Amino acid sequence: MAPPAPRRPAPGGGLAVLVVITVLASLAAPHAHALHGLIADARSVIAAPEPPGTQRARPATGSRPARAVAFALAQRGKPYRWGAEGPHAFDCSGLTWAAWRAAGVAIPRTAADQLAALPSARGRLQPGDLLIYPSRGPSRRHVAMVVSPGRMVEARGRGVPVRSTSIRPGYLGAVRPGVGR
């Protein structure tokens, strides 16, 4: 029996691969910002093992904070619109209000009222905690939600879609929905 003849690549095969990659890249380009946020979030979750006895502030799966965080993170890439409460656009407090509502917890609608009415977060920040910042916007307050150590999700302002970013210093206060005063 004769050995099989060597297989030759189809003519233009390399060109076909290049065309497919180009088409996929052009389809993905409008979503590059959202994809970058997903990659950054994945990097923040993948960390070196921690020494025994240390605990990371992570909500239990299915807990109210976990559901609020999951809801908020699922909104990444949606546009900012002042006064919006979802589902297609959010302002900062509309995002936190809708996230905690999805978790079964009623909180005030505005950032200023969230700071005034909710219990202060004591100790380390935990996922689901709300950080209230000073703002030059109409309400004079901005709110973001802690999603993991050092990370938050926010609807920052006009032209900036809902995104996950590093926690910035300078917040006025941190509050913890879902617990007693």
Condensed to tens digits (0 to 9), the pLDDT of residues 41-76 reads 433 333 333 334 434 445 556 899 999 999 999 999
Distance of CA 139 to the CA centre of its chain: 23
Task: Name the class of domain 62-181.
Answer: alpha beta
Instruction: Determine what percent of the chain is predicted with pLDDT higher than 70.
Output: 65
Domain residue extents for the chain: 14-43, 62-181
d(CA 130, CA 114): 8
What SS3 state is found at 56?
coil
pLDDT on residue 13: 60
pTM across the whole model:
0.66
**133, 96 Cβ separation under 8 angstroms:** no
Would you call the peptide bond into 87 cis, given omega within 30 degrees of 0 as the criterion?
A: yes
Task: Give the tens place of pLDDT for each residue, 97-134.
Answer: 999 999 999 999 999 999 999 999 999 999 999 999 99
Instruction: Decide if pLDDT at 10 tops 50.
Output: yes
Region for residue 120 given its phi and psi (left: phi exceeds 0; alpha: psi -120 to 50; beta: otherwise): beta
Beta-bridge partners for 87: none
Instruction: Determine what percent of the chain is predicted with pLDDT higher than 90.
Output: 60
